[in-house]
Structure 1
Amino acid sequence: MVEAHPEMELYVGMDVDPTALEIGRGHIEAFLAGREANGGELRAYTHVKNFKYIKQVLGSLDESLAVGSSGVDGILIDLGMSSMQVNRSNRGFSVLQDGPLDMRMDPKATLRAEDILNSWPELEVGRILRDYGEESNWQFLQKQIAKAREMGGLHSTGDLVKLIQRKCTISKGRQGWIKTATRVFQALRIAVNDELRVLEDSLHSSFDCLATGGRLAVVSFHSLEDRIVKKTFLELIHGGEADDEEDDDDNLTLPDIDDEDEPWFNQRVQGRNGIVLTKRPITPSQEEEKLNQRCRSAKLRVIQKA
């Protein structure tokens, strides 16, 4: 982004994972070195913080950045895991590699997936699988997890995967258990990091920090996240609860926008506090999916502050 916008004067990067931030900081420093050699000026800062603390972070740099019309021009929130996190078995995110049942985005956090599976009430574990993983066989898995506690508990991703594999019939094959395991791992990761509540808080805080005409763009990777982004965007522009009809993509009757400079959106939702620029989310093109298969589930939504 900083390469595409030479007019940028201030860049602030935030990530709750210090490893991800360290990698990003390396790229930023390399770019800044080249930019300074060419006479460009850009202030860049990185913070090991969740986006729900964006007001605190921006306020520490300049109090005017965290409020109203003097805020920032653009914010991008990229949700979900990175390939780096998935590929490191010691983080506990991968269904294909054995590792600890961790799943913490923030290594300093205390709650781990192992704690939920072995200590939380059985009904609460079932609710997590149902609501956060959208797993149809959550009741059966809930009972199997409870039985596993009697045998000493679940202490590695391999233990959990084996439990799931026993649940899946032979007819479903490898893809059957992988899909189930992916949903279960997603559910536990969301619960460990309280991701959905944090997302909603982050959207409100980020919108507050935008300057007039500023934009907030959010990339989500599963339906639960996208649903919250869509609903919260509508609430933000209307200053309250999202209208039921406007919350339904198929019922929206909105004007087309003919803008050659921004052909990436076709319709918008106008509210007194802003505009949702993406009636429907923008999804990856076939060319993008060829470059990165993991982007295939990504959805981009953008809101602009009035």
Structure 2
Amino acid sequence: MHAENDRNDPQEPGGHVPVMLERVLELLAPALDRPAPVVVDANLGLGGHAEALLAAHPSLHLVGIDRDPTAIERSAARLAPYAARTTLVRAVSDELADVLAGIGRPRIDGALFDLGVSSPQLDEAERGFAYSYDAPLDMRMDREEELTAESVVNTYPVAELIRILRDYGEERFAPRVAHLIAKERAREAITSTKRLAEIVRTAIPAATRRTGGNPAKRTFQALRIEVNAELTALERALPAALDALTLGGRVVVLAYHSLEDRLTKQILTARTRDTSPPGLPVPLPAHQPRFALLTKGAELPSEEEVARNPRAASARCRAAERIREAVDES
């Protein structure tokens, strides 16, 4: 897990400033400049983006989704002045369509995905997300779920560990790390973040350890993604949000590592491509793209923002707009 893979600025007095806030507001504004717009914040976190959107658009209704009950509780307090215009739901982002149907708002004008880990999850040692604290190996965003990082580390077959470390952590020494984990867990169960970080450090060649930050960060990222099924959730949630958008509606995605960003790019690219068979003189209406990209590639935070908040350094922003209704809707 990247040390900077966090959505908020912990240095801001009196609260947390969300990453790329001005750009997010700018990208969503045209979609929310209409009577009684509805926006979904699919990863509510501490509610920083939500608060700014509610303040900027006096008739906006915001639907906030988060699987972490602590996030819902803290956001509810932060958004209390806007309580009449907010609906906060404890759910995983891939339940987005069900959440919208359940509150009678199946169509939305905007959607925001602020992926990654929020400050409380990183900064509260007992959550077990960070390798900088010694804590139980947990990493659950929703602590009522059964699967923990400890379970993964101690029970997954070596081949599965290698796959997770390689696919989710992009760890090139995945086999070395996985085999050493297996050797160590046979001696004694691995239950703490500190011990796991030490095992990973031992497995990584010394020459590699000298650069690139803490050698455990890729392994911790991989475990966190596996425990919380983060990529699976995004794979289902982002298309659901796109389907729910009204004409002119917009979606903005903030990703914090290449896996999230690559998946976001694939989903948005698929929706913005003309799928007419090649060679036709006129594009077929049914195959014309329903969406247009609003960003050229992935936009990065400004140097000033990164200097103020180093945790924003890995942020990548992509956005798209619905430009055409689906054929069966028109």
Which TM-score band applies after superposition, normalised by the shorter structure? Answer: 0.7 to 0.9
- Residue 317 of structure 2 corresponds to residue 282 of structure 1: no
Q: 2:221 aligns with which of 186, 200, 206?
A: 186
Kept after mapping to 1: 8 A contact 2:275/2:289: no
- Residue 56 of structure 2 corresponds to residue 4 of structure 1: yes
Cα 1:240–1:193 change in 2 (3 A) is farther
- Alpha-carbon deviation of 1:291? 2.4
- Residue 319 of structure 2 corresponds to residue 299 of structure 1: no
Match of 2:66 in 1: 15
- Alpha-carbon deviation of 1:168? 4.1
- Residue 247 of structure 2 corresponds to residue 212 of structure 1: yes
Structure 1: gaps of 5 or more residues: 34-41, 242-269
Distance across 1 between alignment mates of 2:102 and 2:139:
30
Match of 1:59 in 2: 101
Q: Which has the higher contact order (CA 8 A, sep 6+)?
A: 2
Match of 2:82 in 1: 32
Distance across 1 between alignment mates of 2:58 and 2:313:
30
Match of 1:43 in 2: 85
Structure 2: gaps of 5 or more residues: 1-52, 277-286, 324-330
Kept after mapping to 2: 8 A contact 1:135/1:180: no
Match of 2:272 in 1: 237
Cα 1:150–1:94 change in 2 (3 A) is same
Provide the TM-score with structure 1 as the length reference.
Answer: 0.80
Q: Map Cα deviations across residues 243-267 of structure 1 (whole Å, 9 max, x no partner).
A: xxxxxxxxxxxxxxxxxxxxxxxxx
Cα 1:205–1:122 change in 2 (3 A) is same
- Alpha-carbon deviation of 1:278? 1.2
- Alpha-carbon deviation of 1:211? 0.9
Distance across 2 between alignment mates of 1:46 and 1:201:
20
Q: 1:196 aligns with which of 212, 219, 231?
A: 231
Kept after mapping to 2: 8 A contact 1:14/1:46: yes
- Alpha-carbon deviation of 1:152? 1.5
Paired residue type of 2:88: T
Tell me which stretches of 4 or more aligned residues in structure 1 moved more than 6 Å.
none
Kept after mapping to 1: 8 A contact 2:201/2:209: no
- Alpha-carbon deviation of 1:173? 5.9
Paired residue type of 1:151: R
SS state at 1:301 partner? strand
Kept after mapping to 1: 8 A contact 2:177/2:204: no
SS state at 1:132 partner? helix
- Alpha-carbon deviation of 1:56? 1.2
- Alpha-carbon deviation of 1:237? 2.8
Kept after mapping to 2: 8 A contact 1:78/1:218: yes
**Alpha-carbon RMSD:** 2.2
Match of 1:260 in 2: none
Cα 1:133–1:173 change in 2 (3 A) is closer
Q: What aligned pairs does 1:119-138 form with structure 2 within 5 A after superposition?
A: 119-138=155-174
Q: 2:177 aligns with which of 120, 141, 148?
A: 141
Q: Map Cα deviations across residues 131-182 of structure 1 (whole Å, 9 max, x no partner).
A: 1101111111111011012102211111101212323455666766x53200
Q: What aligned pairs does 1:156-171 form with structure 2 within 5 A after superposition?
A: 156-168=192-204
Paired residue type of 1:101: L
Distance across 1 between alignment mates of 2:70 and 2:164:
27
Provide the TM-score with structure 2 as the length reference.
Answer: 0.75
Kept after mapping to 2: 8 A contact 1:77/1:218: yes
